[in-house]
Structures are given as structure tokens and as C-alpha cells.
Chains A and B, each alone.
Chain A
């Protein structure tokens, strides 16, 4: 039962894009409270506004209405306290693995020794010590994503925003990275907001699954996943949660969940 200040407070958030074709309501009236250390997944089909919500939290877009508060202070732009990991990695191609990870610490003005210590620590943490001097084009997709994660961690980030980070990877690499991410999360106790369209991934990783639906993009329901960790993808409990979430994703209604679903409990 959280009595401390939530790390993220999202209230009445809306984003409408004005294009020549008219106005596009990408996100409509989203409200969410997230506590420190939670692993929250945003799932939904294309056009449901999950990436828009993530980008608003990250400060890359300004809302049309409402706002995002981190530790009770309004978010006005991007910053190292909310690191983002993109699906297409966005690594700096002219820098090595070490250079990419050191970018943040250097930009913040740390001393050479501190920068070196930080980059060493996080290269080690994501298991890339042997590739510290390699360039992104020499790495596989999974390795690049590890660099992207380390790059964000090296900045004393408090919230990691992940925008379908494993979408471009093959199934085996994805599984490996999911395991590593969970281990990292449990070790660092960071807050993670993870966008995906894969139900299974969301159930495997998250404490909370926020289901979003399109037209206009909005939050349909906010659900706590009451499965014990480590989670078994093949277990009947996992599958019943998956079935329920599938139903929610296509329901496009705002009917509250019934009480007869102990494993997927609706949050007030």
C-alpha cells in the first residue's frame, strides 16, 4: 500500500495532432499513477496512443491538455531522469560501445575518471565487456539494444521508458533480453514503463498491464498481474490471464472487470 509520493502522476493527459487532413486525437484524457519500482506495461493495437503516452512522459511532445508530473514537478522536456530505449536503438554510429555509454556522463560534465568508471560499470552490467571498443554496425540487434539500455542506466535514470524495444529482434534473443531486463529491474529497482503490442511479453514482464484502445487513443483498463515470479509462459494461470487480456484489447468498451477474475484484478 503506497503511502509515499508516486514517482509519476499523469492527469487528464491529451494529445491532438493538427495535420492538413484534420485533427488526430492520438491520446485522450489519460490518467495514471505510477509508484517507484513498478514495472508497468502499456499494451494495445496500433493507434491506441501507447507510444504517444510514452513520448509525453519522456518529454518529447507537449500535451494538448493535462500534464505529467515526476515527483510532483511538471515534466517540460526530455532529460536523463527519464531515459528512453527506442525500437531502432538510436545509437550514435560514430561512437564505440563505450563512447555511446559514456555520452550521458560526459554531457553532464563528470570528470574523466568518473566517466570511465560509469561506462565500465554499465558495460559490465549488460554483459558487453568484450565488445567495449566495437562500433554499433559491428554488433547484432540484441547487443545494440543492450548498449541502448546501458546508455540510459549510466545516467542515474529513475524511470526507463521502453518503446517496443525487443520488437525488431528474433524470438530467442528477445527471450534472453526479457530475462536480463527482469534481472536488471530486480537488481536496480528502477521504474520501468514498457510499451508493447505483444500480450505475452506484457504478462511475462509487468506488475501492471495498462490496456489501451484506439479511436481515440485512451486507457481502457489498468490491471494488476497477480502471478508469482518467475512466470511460466506455459502455465494454465498465465494462459487464463492472456485470454482475459485478449478480450480486453478488442472490447473497446469501458466496462469494469468483474470480480470473478482473481488473477487479473482491476485497479480502482
Chain B
């Protein structure tokens, strides 16, 4: 019987698709179950049960349940955070990629910049917070700067790596084939380094999401990080967790685009 006539093939395909989409659900469902069991019948628990987080999430998004300062404010905060994440990331890419290309390619630029950059690299974004607020004041500009810092290093380091790890043979092949030395950069270095540059961009965007919470501790009024911090101070832990969930989903979606 030929493959097209075989009646069990569509069923097999369906089953395998079902299998593929079921496995990823196992861990979250197990986690939710554990969480629910851990907070069941414990009214004094500091960790809110999943149902409460679900309600808080709903209220944040659509309102109508609690009618407090957080209700239906999710779109505003989401937009604010997304604009800072992408803004900071784009700035990091616009500076990090060209700088990385130059450091990778030109020895003099490398000797000038690399030691300083290596010293600054281990400093966590959190430690920059006070200085950022002094330099840029309270508000969105400091947040922007901190997000930029978070995204900058992955982009820079991966770009430099991409440029430096081009097989030297390819330069010889290119000049042997008649490429002038000015053509080597666009025709060989750039295409060869592109995969690493893209890795750097993905990592940079990911880091931008990670630091958005810290970035928004700079006294901004809107943003997912801002409401997480505010909710923490009010002991509204269910909103903290709801905020974390939104950041996780937003970060995941944005990674799909890069």
C-alpha cells in the first residue's frame, strides 16, 4: 500500500503533533500543581496561591475585579517597558556593532578600548543605578541608560568575537581572487561575522528584558518593573508575580522576532 493510500498516516501525524505540543506543557502544569498544593489551605502564606495571581493578572489587564490603582493598567505599563527595552536595545546595537567591528578589525582601536571595557564589564547593572540617577536624573532616561548597559556588552563581545574568529585563509582566498584590501571588509569580514553578530543581538535583547526591572527602579511611574517594585512595597505579592509572568511572556515573544 503506497504512502498516500495508508489511512493510518494522518492519524500518526496528528498523534506526533499532539505529542510535540504536550511535552512542553508537562513542566508548567507540574509546577502549577506544586504551587497550588503548597498554598492550599494556608491563608497566612506569604506566597499567594495561583488563583489569586490569576485574578490579579486579569484585573491588571482588563480591570473590573478590584478597582485599585493597578486595574486595567497593563497596556500602559507594557507599552512603557517595551519602548524602553527596544529603545535601549537599539541604541546598544547601533553603538555596539560598529564599535565591535572596529575593535575586532583594527589593532590600535582594540588596544585603546579593550582594557577599559574588560574592567567595566563585571560591574552589574544594579551597581550603576545610583550613578545613572545622578547623571540622568530620576525618571525614564536613567531607565533607558540602564537597559542600554544591559544590552551593550553581549552585542559588543559577540561582534568582536565574530570578527576575530574569521578564518585567516578566507582573507588569503579573497585577495588571491582579486579583492582589493578595502573590499575585504564588506565582502569577507562582514558576512563571516554575521552569525555571531546575530547571536549577540539576541543575547542583548534578552538581557534588556532581564534588566528592565532594575532599570525601572529609577523612580519611573510606568512600566512593568515599576509596578513590580511598587507592588512589593505594598506587599501585593500577587501583582509582583503577575508582573513577572508578563515580562516572561513578552520577552519570549520578542525573542521570536530576532
Chain B residues in 8 Å Cβ range of A86: 169, 172-173
Q: Given A92-B170, A92-B191, A94-B192 in contact, is the A58-B176 Cβ separation under 8 Å?
A: yes
B187 CB within 8 Å of chain A: yes
B175 CB within 8 Å of chain A: yes
* A136 CB → nearest B CB, Å: 11
A50 CB within 8 Å of chain B: no
* B227 CB → nearest A CB, Å: 45
* A93 CB → nearest B CB, Å: 8
Structural contact, A151 and B167, CB atoms closer than 8 A: no
Q: For residue A161, which residue of chain B has the nearest CB?
A: B176
Q: Given A90-B167, A92-B188 in contact, is the A80-B177 Cβ separation under 8 Å?
A: yes
* A243 CB → nearest B CB, Å: 36
B244 CB within 8 Å of chain A: no
Structural contact, B176 and A84, CB atoms closer than 8 A: yes
Chain B residues in 8 Å Cβ range of A108: 178
* A110 CB → nearest B CB, Å: 10
Q: How large is the interface on A (under 10, 10 to 19, 20 to 34, 35 or more residues)?
A: 20 to 34
A167 CB within 8 Å of chain B: no
- Give CA–CA (A122, B191) in the complex, Å: 24
Main secondary structure of the interface of B (DSSP, over half): helix
Structural contact, A78 and B175, CB atoms closer than 8 A: yes
Chain B residues in 8 Å Cβ range of A78: 172, 175-176
Q: For residue B192, which residue of chain A has the nearest CB?
A: A94
Structural contact, A107 and B178, CB atoms closer than 8 A: yes
Chain B residues in 8 Å Cβ range of A79: 175-176, 178
Chain B residues in 8 Å Cβ range of A82: 176
Q: For residue A77, which residue of chain B has the nearest CB?
A: B175
- Give CA–CA (A29, B37) in the complex, Å: 85
- The 0/1 profile, CB within 8 Å of A marked 1, for residues 187-225 of chain B is 110011010000000000000000000000000000000
Chain A residues in 8 Å Cβ range of B175: 77-79
Q: Which of A52-97 contact B (CB under 8 A)?
A: 58, 60, 77-80, 82-84, 86, 88, 90-95
A103 CB within 8 Å of chain B: yes
Q: Which of A113-147 contact B (CB under 8 A)?
A: none
Q: Given A86-B169, A90-B169, A107-B183 in contact, is the A151-B192 Cβ separation under 8 Å?
A: no
Name B173's contact: one of A77, A92, A94 (CB within 8 Å): A92
Name B178's contact: one of A58, A92, A95, A104 (CB within 8 Å): A104
Chain B residues in 8 Å Cβ range of A90: 167, 169-170, 172-173
- Give CA–CA (A93, B165) in the complex, Å: 14
* B166 CB → nearest A CB, Å: 11
Structural contact, B178 and A155, CB atoms closer than 8 A: yes
Chain B residues in 8 Å Cβ range of A60: 172, 176
Q: For residue A88, which residue of chain B has the nearest CB?
A: B169
Q: Given A92-B188, A94-B191, A107-B183 in contact, is the A83-B169 Cβ separation under 8 Å?
A: no
- Give CA–CA (A60, B168) in the complex, Å: 12
Chain A residues in 8 Å Cβ range of B174: 103, 107
Chain A residues in 8 Å Cβ range of B192: 92-94
Chain B residues in 8 Å Cβ range of A155: 177-178
B102 CB within 8 Å of chain A: no
- Give CA–CA (A140, B180) in the complex, Å: 30
Q: Given A84-B172, A90-B172, A92-B191 in contact, is the A103-B177 Cβ separation under 8 Å?
A: yes
- Give CA–CA (A94, B192) in the complex, Å: 7
Chain A residues in 8 Å Cβ range of B191: 92, 94-95
5 contacts between A and B (CB under 8 A): A83-B176, A84-B173, A91-B173, A151-B177, A155-B178
Given A60-B176, A78-B176, 5 other A-B residues pairs in contact with their CB atoms under 8 A: A79-B178, A90-B169, A92-B173, A107-B178, A151-B173
The 7 closest A-B pairs by CB, nearest first: A104-B177, A90-B169, A80-B178, A90-B173, A78-B175, A107-B179, A107-B178
